[in-house]
Structure 1
Amino acid sequence: MQITNPVIKGFYPDPSICKAGDTYYLACSSMQYFPGVPLFESKDLINWRPIGHALTRRSQIMLDKVNSSGGVFAPTLRYNDGRFYMTTTNDTTRQNFFVWTDDIYGEWSEPIYIDQGGIDPDLYFEDGKVYFMSNGSDDNGRGVILQCQIDIVTGQKLTPSRPLWQGTGGRFLESPHMYLMNGWYYLMAAEGGTEFGHMVTYARSKSLHGPFEPYPHNPVLTNRNLGGYEIQAVGHGDLIQDQGGNWWIFHLGFRQIGKWIPYHHLGREVFLAPVTFREDGWFTAGHNGTTVTSFETNRIPEHVVQQEQKVYTFENTTWAIDWCYLRHPHDQNYKLHNDRLTLTGTEVTLDQADSPTFIGIRQKDFNASVACNVALTQSGEAGITLYMDENHHYDFAIRHADDQYEVILRLNIGDIKHVQQTVPIGTNSQVQLLVEASHERYTFSFQLDDGQSLELGTAQTKYLSSEVAGGFTGVIIGLYAVHEDAEAQFSSFVCEYQ
């Protein structure tokens, strides 16, 4: 059968995967968004269903006024002795912790903190012992993977942190994962930074504590030399063995907007590549060490069909699973119904690293049509925002000004906050907002109840890209309200991908 990448589209970075019974489970990082750490399940490794989040309570994660791309960094998801564990970093507070649950569809525990620094923590279970790894520095200040043994009940360190491996010399050594296979301990990591130089490297040892010998042909997986290729930044992987004994690597990557246009705004997504073990015990990954857009394989049964949801509405999504907030929401400002949404604004705006009245869904592909009816019942502003961070977002809204209503298009690009177009609509307090998205451009138009429609303008997608904005997130299609007297009702929301 043919597999098409990415297998999970949109801003779902840093995938980590485990298996319980005949089901695979996957977790991703979430940065400043809440709930934290999205979770997915699959029976076949290519069709993934969102099932919830690991961090659903304020007490589990501090997100108050964290900057964009702060907050929850890369998780590791593991299953051991009937229990799921998820360990991650709050990069803003510089704390590593883990939570656990016996029911992955239910609530997770309160956080248990580990006194070891670095990011991208990993948990490894063996013979009743638990080992914790993260990246860090050795006594000479060089990047290294650190390991200690912990008490899985209390999080207490039972051994000092010891250096395991310094990587291959690439910058930003991170994303450690440990595996035991056929008498070898494999330590896999990422190097090169989570941009165009990203890569997966690994080493092996006969001892859990090393020394580790690097794979002679590192990096084992990277697209760093594929100029003009859609998939870039391949790295940060996790291995899994399927029911048939085949090995795979799930990893992040991003799709640039054009062959020779090196910008990406959808965020880092989840990609899949095959892994093959050689007779000498080393493994290779991908297709000649790269990740491709689509590939044929006989590892997945022919009756399995890779499916993709193309239409997202209020009715066919779940608020607590598919949608997200900026940091911790003020619940009293949200009325979530099956077919509509009512938002009450505050003085907090989208330009602040705070919690404006905002709820969003990830943009999952380049070509899309977004439509939503917005009725503003009091003063203020409400509408759709294409949101990368507090300094980079396009706002398309209805607002009340001078005893009448108007539709506005505002472009926020760094320090430039420009109202691109304003169209008065008199006493009309309801409007249908329409956004057409392509690889390189968004187009904004609106329609009134009387059928009158007007295009307000366009904006380039690249100004919402990580290459312009910085950071590690992707565009969120957000619905928002601003001003303490603003109340708005949203209905007939449709996001359709071509």
Structure 2
Amino acid sequence: MSGPRPVVPGFHPDPSVVRVGDTYWMVHSSFEYAPGVPLYRSADLVSWEQAGHVLARPSQLDVSAAPGSGGITAPTIRFHDGRFWMVTTNLADGGWQTLVSAEDPLGEWSEPVRMPEVRGIDPDLAWDDDGTLLVSHAGFGAGGPAGLVQQAVDPATGAVLTARRRLWQGTGGRFPEGPHLYRVGDLWYLLIAEGGTERGHAVTTARGPSPSGPWEPCPHNPLLTHRGVESPVQNTGHADLVQRSDGSWAVVFHGVRPRGTSPEFHVLGRETFAAEVEWADGWPRLGEWLSPPGGAVAVEEDLGGPAWVAPRRFPGELLSRVEGGRRLTAADPDPASEDLAFVGRRQEHLHARYRAAVRVDGVGGLTVRIDARHHLDVEVAGDRVRAVAQVGPLRSVLGEAAAGPEAVLEIRTEPATGHFSSTTLGPDVVVAGVVGPGGFTELGRLDGRYLSTEVAGGMTGRLGGVWCARGSLVVRSFAYAGADDPQELP
């Protein structure tokens, strides 16, 4: 697929970025997965590495009651008065906003300060000239969304200091959200998302003499949108501006890479892209997109590494070290439960292969999933290995073979075939099987649209990993290979 590449691929939506010195730091939404709020760093806004998670301890994060795509949404990261600050919404525990800080983002972040009176999502952090912390957000009321609002907050206690005041509501698009405030010269700029996070997504901006307005809309709005545009990247929005040390500006935002027949299907979730920003007549204008080089990735993974997460639990609650690998223990004896033990990592490429060498004492194996009700499993149980598809309430065995408790399991995503006008053309095909002395043996395949956001719904993307429904399994090795061009896969 041609077109710009994401700077942080895979399920990394709602980016927020800050520069301190020569280093850029960026955070993303994590929803029901723990640890929460993945943290990335970069020297150039193009090449990023994961530095860990901001909400890395159970005392900071409780998503045990989060449904699929519930939990942690739309963080903001800022640097003020010698400290890094991160605020986000936890929709799963009743405390609304979560504010933490750290002098060193690579160290431990503070215990959370909660803001139960700041009801809404997408909180922003900005400090007025007198040092007052202003939290702008998409407010919720008794009747639902209340538009973009702002409150002064005590960062030490989370108590609100002022009543809500309404901000600029955008250019008329649905769901004005994702506000970010910036002081540029003598003016304040308000950047927001509107139009919904699907095909109508857009970024618009306004400016005013104070952080509460009054607001003058940019005459060239939207700053960014791909609605109605022929592009391999769609749903662009939810942006954050950052200034380089040389005075130039850039913007990060999320988008999706849909494929297949109409309405097209995206499987990786919302990924983070970046572009240059140029200023003209006192307004930001979108410049050239920043795109990292392509190529294949092939890595051996440690299940305890920074990329690994689990739904509603921390991986450490499910994993233990044993001789020759890591043991994953079932969390619930009910195979139909949404709380099956699962640990995984994001699929970061349009085409990928997952391979795991396991010993199963019970029921478990390898899986690629978009949520608990949409996944393709390679299941080892007793002396059989099966490819099993779960699509909503329907669970179907696609194929099976004899196997012992020791097995090498593999799931591949392969290019879909068919005419663009045919309903048979999905985004890809997901193939499950086993690896033996003679190579890979396919057990079953599934149209990739059944593991897409357009079918499953929600706000996340595909993850691949290991699962256990009963007993335990020992993972002796786990490998991921990915490429946007399938010809580049090893």
Distance 1:254 1:336, change over 3 A: farther
Deviations 1:85-137 (A, max 9, x none): 11000123451121111121121112112221110000002332211111126
Provide the rounded CA distance (Å) in 1 between the counterparts of 2:102 and 2:450.
40
Provide the rounded CA distance (Å) in 2 between the counterparts of 1:21 and 1:339.
42
For the Cα contact (< 8 Å) 1:68–1:353, is it kept in 2? no
2:35 maps to amino acid: P
Distance 1:4 1:230, change over 3 A: closer
Stretches of structure 2 that go unaligned for 5 or more consecutive residues are 415-426, 483-488
Deviations 1:147-195 (A, max 9, x none): 1112222222122111111211111111000001121110010011111
Aligned pairs for 1:212-361 (under 5 A) are: 212-227=215-230, 229-258=231-260, 262-278=264-280, 280-286=281-287, 310-314=297-301, 317=302, 319-329=304-314, 331=316, 333-336=318-321, 340-348=325-333, 351-354=336-339, 356-361=340-345
Deviations 1:266-285 (A, max 9, x none): 0111000111110x201111
The answer as to 2:424 corresponding to 1:442 is: no
For the Cα contact (< 8 Å) 1:71–1:92, is it kept in 2? yes
For the Cα contact (< 8 Å) 1:373–1:493, is it kept in 2? yes
Residue matched to 1:57: 57
Residue matched to 1:382: 364
2:376 maps to amino acid: Y
Residue matched to 1:411: 389
1:453, distance to aligned residue in structure 2 (A): 5.2
Distance 1:459 1:20, change over 3 A: same
Residue matched to 2:79: 79
Provide the rounded CA distance (Å) in 1 between the counterparts of 2:151 and 2:315.
39
Aligned pairs for 1:124-273 (under 5 A) are: 124-127=126-129, 128-136=131-139, 143-227=146-230, 229-258=231-260, 262-273=264-275
Identity of aligned residues (%): 37
Deviations 1:184-214 (A, max 9, x none): 1100100111111111011110122111111
Residue matched to 2:353: 369
Distance 1:410 1:42, change over 3 A: same
For the Cα contact (< 8 Å) 2:296–2:481, is it kept in 1? no
Aligned pairs for 1:111-130 (under 5 A) are: 111-114=112-115, 115-127=117-129, 128-130=131-133
1:423, distance to aligned residue in structure 2 (A): 1.8
1:4, distance to aligned residue in structure 2 (A): 4.5
Provide the rounded CA distance (Å) in 2 between the counterparts of 1:333 and 1:318.
11
- Residue 40 of structure 1 aligns to a residue whose secondary structure is strand
Provide the rounded CA distance (Å) in 2 between the counterparts of 1:323 and 1:330.
7
Deviations 1:232-286 (A, max 9, x none): 11000000011222111100111112475611010111000111110x2011114
- Alpha-carbon RMSD across the aligned residues, in angstroms, is 2.4
Provide the rounded CA distance (Å) in 1 between the counterparts of 2:190 and 2:296.
35
1:142, distance to aligned residue in structure 2 (A): 7.4
Deviations 1:389-434 (A, max 9, x none): 111111112112xxxx101111111121112222233xx2211112
Provide the rounded CA distance (Å) in 2 between the counterparts of 1:332 and 1:135.
34
1:158 maps to amino acid: L
The answer as to 2:51 corresponding to 1:32 is: no
Distance 1:413 1:239, change over 3 A: same
Query: Paired residue for 1:473, among 456, 460, 466?
Result: 460
Residue matched to 1:432: 408
For the Cα contact (< 8 Å) 2:194–2:201, is it kept in 1? yes
Provide the rounded CA distance (Å) in 1 between the counterparts of 2:217 and 2:336.
46
For the Cα contact (< 8 Å) 2:367–2:376, is it kept in 1? yes
Provide the rounded CA distance (Å) in 2 between the counterparts of 1:160 and 1:230.
43
With structure 1 as the length reference, what TM-score do the two structures score?
A: 0.88
1:167 maps to amino acid: G
For the Cα contact (< 8 Å) 2:119–2:140, is it kept in 1? no
Distance 1:91 1:140, change over 3 A: closer
Q: Which moved further from structure 2: 411-420 or 37-46?
A: 411-420
Deviations 1:446-498 (A, max 9, x none): 134x5475311211111111111110000010211111xx2212123211113
Provide the rounded CA distance (Å) in 2 between the counterparts of 1:84 and 1:332.
28
Distance 1:140 1:335, change over 3 A: closer
For the Cα contact (< 8 Å) 2:147–2:175, is it kept in 1? no
1:34, distance to aligned residue in structure 2 (A): 0.3
1:442 maps to amino acid: V
1:352, distance to aligned residue in structure 2 (A): 3.1
1:141, distance to aligned residue in structure 2 (A): 7.8
Distance 1:495 1:137, change over 3 A: closer
Provide the rounded CA distance (Å) in 2 between the counterparts of 1:496 and 1:443.
14
1:487 maps to amino acid: S
Provide the rounded CA distance (Å) in 2 between the counterparts of 1:168 and 1:236.
15
Aligned pairs for 1:387-398 (under 5 A) are: 387-398=369-380
- Residue 270 of structure 1 aligns to a residue whose secondary structure is strand
Provide the rounded CA distance (Å) in 2 between the counterparts of 1:220 and 1:126.
25
For the Cα contact (< 8 Å) 1:46–1:306, is it kept in 2? no
Deviations 1:334-375 (A, max 9, x none): 124797322122435575343x32110100011122222121
1:435 maps to amino acid: I
Provide the rounded CA distance (Å) in 1 between the counterparts of 2:4 and 2:234.
15
